């Protein structure tokens, strides 16, 4: 039976952690979020299946939900899906970070000439995490227009939550190869590969083992919503304990938040692994 959110507090208390650090939470400008939710409601082609949203409430209500769940630090990810929208999204995210102290100042970018200017500018304004989505944006990680962006981010050591895997549906530029090309040129780049890079988990684990600042987030992995997920060797995740960070995809998930924690607990990798993933690693990355 799926864990319910009310059960989460007792579990965190038993683990002895102060809460959860969630690196994969979405907050967006209202007009952007409305379009995202409409796409989910229509089971758009990049989803591949019906996808009911469990937490369809206002920004303020969703912040209070996270607080009640014990989420102490969280991102507010928005992702530019075409040229010319990143600065608007970043302006809104700057305001959100100012209003919500638990939120990590988040930003986005797109492969466009202007990114060479607005990425360092938003870092100077306090951005501490970026989101980029190769599947939705249909761009390559190694697009030459991103060269100055990767150079700036590598120097500043601001992590990028990067949807690069081919789940839930493949895109023209998804998979580990383009990311590997980027890391060959920017080996200190702080990347967080969303969804463990599903379904190409082994390929992205290879990159985490090879490059010191590559991490993987657990978002929507091992949950019952994907009964047809490819097999993953839990021992690789155990060996990468200090590189795995917790992510949820809140609010755009079709089950209670606690189920993602339950799905990880079912792996049987031990309390130390769960403490590292739910709190320590993410808090170190985002700041506790």
Q: Using one digit for the tens of pLDDT, what is the confidence trace for 117-136?
A: 999 999 999 999 999 999 99
For the chain, what is the mean pLDDT? Answer: 96
Q: Which of 41-45, 54-58, 138-142, 271-275 has the lowest mean pLDDT?
A: 41-45
- Note if the pTM is more than 0.95: yes
Q: Which domain holds residue 112?
A: 5-286
Q: Evaluate if residue 43 carries a pLDDT over 90.
A: no
The pLDDT assigned to 227 comes to 82
The pLDDT assigned to 46 comes to 85
Q: Evaluate if residue 1 carries a pLDDT over 70.
A: no
How much of the chain, in percent, has pLDDT values that exceed 90? 93
SS3 readout for the chain: CCCCHHHHHHHHHHHCCCCEEECCECCCCHHHHHHHHHHHHCCCCCCCCCCCCCCCCCHHHHHHHHHHHCEEEECCCCCCCCCCCHHHHHHHHHHHHHHCCCECCEEECCCCCCHHHHHHHHHHCCCCEEEEEHHHHCCCCCCHHHHHHHHHHHHHCCCEEEECCCCCCCCCCCCHHHHHHHHHHCCCCCEEEHHHHCCCHHHHHHHHHHCCCEEEECCCCCCCCCCCCCCCCHHHHHHCHHHEECCCCECCCCCCCHHHHHHHHCCCCCHHHHHHHHHHHHHHHHCC
- The pLDDT of 40-67, averaged and rounded, is 93
Q: Evaluate if residue 229 carries a pLDDT over 80.
A: no
pLDDT in tens, 193-208: 999 999 999 999 999 9
Q: Evaluate if residue 110 carries a pLDDT over 90.
A: yes
pLDDT in tens, 65-99: 999 999 999 999 999 999 999 999 999 999 999 99
CATH number at residue 141: 3.20.20.140
Please give the tally of structural domains in the chain.
1
């Amino acid at each position: 039976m799926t864990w319910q959110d009310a059960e989460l507090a007792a579990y965190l208390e038993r683990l002895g952690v102060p809460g959860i650090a969630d690196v994969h939470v979405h907050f967006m400008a209202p007009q952007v979020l409305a379009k995202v939710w409409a796409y989910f409601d229509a089971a758009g082609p990049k989803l591949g299946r019906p996808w009911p949203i469990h937490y369809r409430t206002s920004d303020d209500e969703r912040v209070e939900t996270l607080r009640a769940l014990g989420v102490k630090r969280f991102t507010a990810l928005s992702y530019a899906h075409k040229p010319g929208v990143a600065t608007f999204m970043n302006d809104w995210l700057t305001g959100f970070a100012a209003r919500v102290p638990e939120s990590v100042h988040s930003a986005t970018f797109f492969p466009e000439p202007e990114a060479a200017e607005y990425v360092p500018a938003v870092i100077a304004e306090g951005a501490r995490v970026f989101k980029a989505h190769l599947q939705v944006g249909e761009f390559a990680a190694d697009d030459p227009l991103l060269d100055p962006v990767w150079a700036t981010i590598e120097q500043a050591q601001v992590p990028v939550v990067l949807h690069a895997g081919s789940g839930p549906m493949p895109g023209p530029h998804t998979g580990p190869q383009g990311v590997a090309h980027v890391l060959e040129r920017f080996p200190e780049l702080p990347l967080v590969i969303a969804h463990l890079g599903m379904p190409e988990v082994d390929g992205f684990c290879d990159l985490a083992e090879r490059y010191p600042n590559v991490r993987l987030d657990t978002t929507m992995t091992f949950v019952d919503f994907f009964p047809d997920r490819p097999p993953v060797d839990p021992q690789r995740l155990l060996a990468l304990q200090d590189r795995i960070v917790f992510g949820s995809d809140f609010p755009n998930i079709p089950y209670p938040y606690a189920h993602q924690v339950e799905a990880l607990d079912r792996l049987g990798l031990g309390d130390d692994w769960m403490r590292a993933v739910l709190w320590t690693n993410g808090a170190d990355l985002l700041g506790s």
